[in-house]
Amino acid sequence: MMSEILDRLVSIGLIGLIVLFQPEIRKFLIILGRRTTLGKNGFVSRLFQSNSINKYIIEEEVIEEISQALKFFQDQKLGAILVIARSDKFEFDTNSGNMINGVVSTKLIESIFCKASPLHDGAMIIDKDIIIASGVILPISDSNDLPTSIGLRHRSAVGATEHSDVLVIVVSEETSKFSIASHGKIKMDVPLEEIKKEMYKAMTE
């Protein structure tokens, strides 16, 4: 009996504390929701939205498939340029390339950029988990702010980001180093881990 009485007193006490400090608790939760992963765009919030679990799994799988292909290009000294759509606001003339419409996979990306492949020239366009096209010709940037040492592949990467809301990943055939272009800027010699983070941002923003 004493145990039951104490349990009820504790329960009543907790309810009383919640009622008493309701304004403060509400304020704390609002601040927490804005500033942490529990917020509107946070991991937990996205995870519990409709279809978000499947979407999260797909994003992780796509990033991993692309990352493995990038590592392969680096090891094999193969050049490549991948355009990842940030939103529906991207527009390229895919008629300049070849329509693929295939699910993103490491082997498919590797086979397209293999030197023996007739599709290896030009850019690959990726939207969500679909490779839309390959061999696409991108607009070349004529910005004077770019380093004079970079070639057409890197200039076209920047040009793509000047015209559309995309992230572009470049693998240099000469140096095997990664570069990323975004919002009209390019960053050279980027580690693969940073590439993964940028891909995650591009797919979840």
How does residue 157 score in pLDDT terms, banded at 50, 70 and 90? very high
What confidence tens digit (pLDDT) does each residue in 38-90 have? 444 454 555 455 455 666 677 889 999 999 999 999 999 999 999 999 876 66
pLDDT of amino acid 196: 94
Total-model pTM: 0.72
Which residue in 128, 151, 165, 145 sits closest to 81, CA to CA? Answer: 151
pLDDT of amino acid 63: 94
Q: Side-chain half-sphere of 36: how many Cα atoms within 13 Å?
A: 8
Q: Find which of 18-22, 31-35, 169-173 is predicted with most confidence, using mean pLDDT.
A: 169-173
The Cα–Cα gap between 41 and 36 comes to 9
Query: Where are the chain's structural domains?
Result: 2-35, 58-204
What confidence tens digit (pLDDT) does each residue in 79-135 have? 999 999 987 666 666 677 889 999 999 999 999 999 888 888 889 999 989 999 999
The first and second tokens of residue 183, run together, are 């919002």
- Residue 162 contacts residue 184 (beta carbons within 8 Å): yes
- Residue 70 contacts residue 171 (beta carbons within 8 Å): yes
What is the CATH topology of the domain spanning 58-204?
A: YojJ-like (1 (3.40.1700)
CA distance to 1, 4, 27, 155, 196, per residue, from 178 (Å) = 70, 65, 45, 14, 12
Q: Say how many Å lie between the first and final Cα of the chain, rounded.
A: 56
Residue, of 5 and 120, whose pLDDT is higher: 120
Q: What is the DSSP letter of 96?
A: G
